[in-house]
Structure 1
């Protein structure tokens, strides 16, 4: 079991560590270019190829999407009163706590833990997460929803296109599959390296608060994921992927939200860094539980 857990965690940690060390050594890294390639080309191709090439039945995709919606609601219902009681900004911390790092960290973990089927299920969770983030998340952070920004995300159209093939039981042309497989292959390594680079550039502000919010995010994420899986009667890879995705640390993208809308970016950065650091301690237990 130890070797199995290590084989899942080690690639994630090593790739992120490469990015971290690269940044700390002041080596050139065009984060904007890499992120643009990943968001606009790599991730859409990865999502399309995985969903059209994996033997994933539509019912499993639908159940995961529905369960993801339930977990999003549960996060908000839990965190709104907690933040209010603690006197913390909803605009700054509600998106940060609600949206975990289900892309850069969650997708590779689910792939390594559960194979191609796990990745396909993780993409289902990721898709719903992205839709909620760029609608509800932006509405909270900015005070108004940005539907135009959501409509410009290529991954939405890639997933919709893949679902046509998934639900009709057909396959895309071979050249489309080969192209998306090739371009999608660059996504996960770039995601993890970029995660390391991003963490190297962030600091921790207000350590006790960042620590408390990080622990809250990791523990409540696990609890909500587990409870939702029980309610939906999930087993195997579907159950494991849901719990893993729910228990991910605070996403780096939340820092960009806070920075863009001037919602205490330094403190949000602290929760990103600390929750990610703590997640490397909790991951072995989490993977042991779901595998």
Structure 2
């Protein structure tokens, strides 16, 4: 079991640590360039490559969409309750409690834990997560939601493209499949390196508050996702994927949006750092639970 845990967790830690050391040494990793590469090329290619190569029943994917939306609704309710109880402004803190790091950390963890089948389910969860974050999440931080943002997300077009092939059983041309696989392959390593670099540049403010909210993010994520998964009758890899994705630390995007809209970015940065450090401690127990 120790070898299994090491094979799942250590690659995540090592690649993230490389990014952290890179950042601490003062080397540059232009955030806008990385974000552009990941969001416009890497992630859409990874989504298309994985979904068009599916070997799982498409009904399971539909169920995963419903589960994901239900989980995020639960996160929203929990987040509102906690923010109200702690007298914290929703526009600054609610997104951090709602949106876990389903991309940088969630996808590679699921890949190593459950293979390509698990990755396909995790990508469905991730697509729901990133769609909500770039609409509702930005809406909370900015004070106004705009669904037209979806039209600017290459990820959405990648999903539509993939579903056409999946639902019609059309074979994907080999040249296209290889191209998507090649481009998608840069996504997970780049995400982890970028995560490490981001952590090297963020600082913790109000450690006690950050610790409390980090416990809510991780512990609440686990409880909500497990309860919703059981309510939908999920078992095995599907249950494990939902729990893993939901029990990730605060997504770095929450800090970027807080910085953009001036919603106490220093506080949000602290929650990102503390929750990520906590997650590295809780990951072995979480992996043991889902396997």
TM-score (norm 1): 0.98
Residue 147 of structure 1 deviates from its aligned partner by 2.3
Is 2:265 the counterpart of 1:268?
Answer: no
Is 2:154 the counterpart of 1:154?
Answer: yes
| Contact 1:100/1:246 (<8 A) preserved | yes
| Contact 1:108/1:188 (<8 A) preserved | yes
**Structure 1, gaps ≥5 residues long:** none
Aligned residue for 2:171?
171
Count residues with an aligned counterpart: 291
Distance 1:280 1:66 in 2: 29
Distance 1:127 1:212 in 2: 28
Is 2:5 the counterpart of 1:2?
Answer: no
| Contact 1:57/1:166 (<8 A) preserved | no
| Contact 1:91/1:263 (<8 A) preserved | yes
| Contact 1:204/1:266 (<8 A) preserved | yes
- Structure 2 counterparts to residues 55-204 of structure 1, below 5 A: 55-204=55-204
Aligned residue for 2:287?
287
CA displacement, residues 131-152 of structure 1 (integer Å, 9 cap, x when unaligned): 1111211111111113232221
Residue 268 of structure 1 deviates from its aligned partner by 0.3
Is 2:274 the counterpart of 1:278?
Answer: no
TM-score (norm 2): 0.98
CA displacement, residues 100-123 of structure 1 (integer Å, 9 cap, x when unaligned): 000111011111100001111011
Partner of 1:215, secondary structure, is helix
CA displacement, residues 210-264 of structure 1 (integer Å, 9 cap, x when unaligned): 0000011100000111111111111111110000001010000000010111100
RMSD of the TM alignment (CA)? 0.9
Aligned residue for 1:213?
213
| Contact 1:210/1:271 (<8 A) preserved | yes
Residue 56 of structure 1 deviates from its aligned partner by 2.1
